[in-house]
Amino acid sequence: MTKANVRARAGRSAGAEAVHSEPAAGEELARQLDQTLSELDSLEKRLLAIADAIPGRVTFSTSLGLEDQAVLHGIAATERTFDVFTLDTGRHFPETLETLDASELRYGLKVRVVFPDAADVELLVARDGIMGFRQSIEARKACCEVRKVRPLNKALAGAAGWITGLRRDQSSGRAHVPFATWDGEHQLVKLNPIADWSLEKLEAYIEEHAVPVNPLHARGFPSIGCQPCTRAIRPGEDIRAGRWWWENEDGKECGLHNRPKPKEAHA
């Protein structure tokens, strides 16, 4: 390794430590990136800007849905190093796992699979039952906590940036998603490079680049989570209506993404 490479790596490491130890530095970086990404006209350019701006490990959490498959294609196109992982809750549709395999083969990328702690799952099922998450919102969120949130926290530990496929028109609860924001809980910059994409733009991008997609999307599943918690939607329903359909709570989320408040949104 050349001295220049050693200095560059040392500089990025120091920058990463500064972001983690000084939230103000992370908040300022997030503000700058939010503006920068809003001015760029392609997913690939936005991902390159993220790679250049974020010091340290930048990770991408994929659920293998339409949005995340588009982002994965963009990541592969940049030929930059990103840490790509997915959460295996133990309750995925077989089609979701097939999509994971097809994506790794298509892009030559290894997707890190993160599992929940077996002891936590055993305790949860012993307490609530195998389908206990349908008995109350609290029980469902407890299931999401064990199978999703805790594994996510483990996967994000030490990262300086976290890329997601969130879009503003996915649901009312996501209407104010920024391109970049400081995530104080995880002490990193959270990045949403397709936040402003419409469903039409997303579908056009996927078709143009022949991106592998979960076959369940063609069967009426616009949003795909765990098999017991996801159904196809009816014509005219919100695209997330098939998630935890037995609940009446508005803006349903599993806890992976805290909903930003309108005052936090950027113009």
- Give the catalytic positions in this structure: 254
Give me the count of residues in the chain.
267
Task: List strands edge to edge, sheet with 83-87.
Answer: 112-114, 83-87, 58-61, 161-163, 188-191, 180-183
State whether residue 92 is helix, strand or coil.
strand
| 234-245 per-residue burial string, b: 16 or more CB within 10 A, e: under 16 | eeeeebbbbbbe
Backbone dihedral angles phi then psi of residue 7, each to the nearest 5 degrees: -65, -40
Report yes or no: 106 and 69 within 8 Å, Cβ to Cβ: no
Quick one: tokens of 162? Answer: 């976290």
Q: Where are the alpha helices (DSSP H) in 129-217?
A: 137-144, 150-156, 199-209
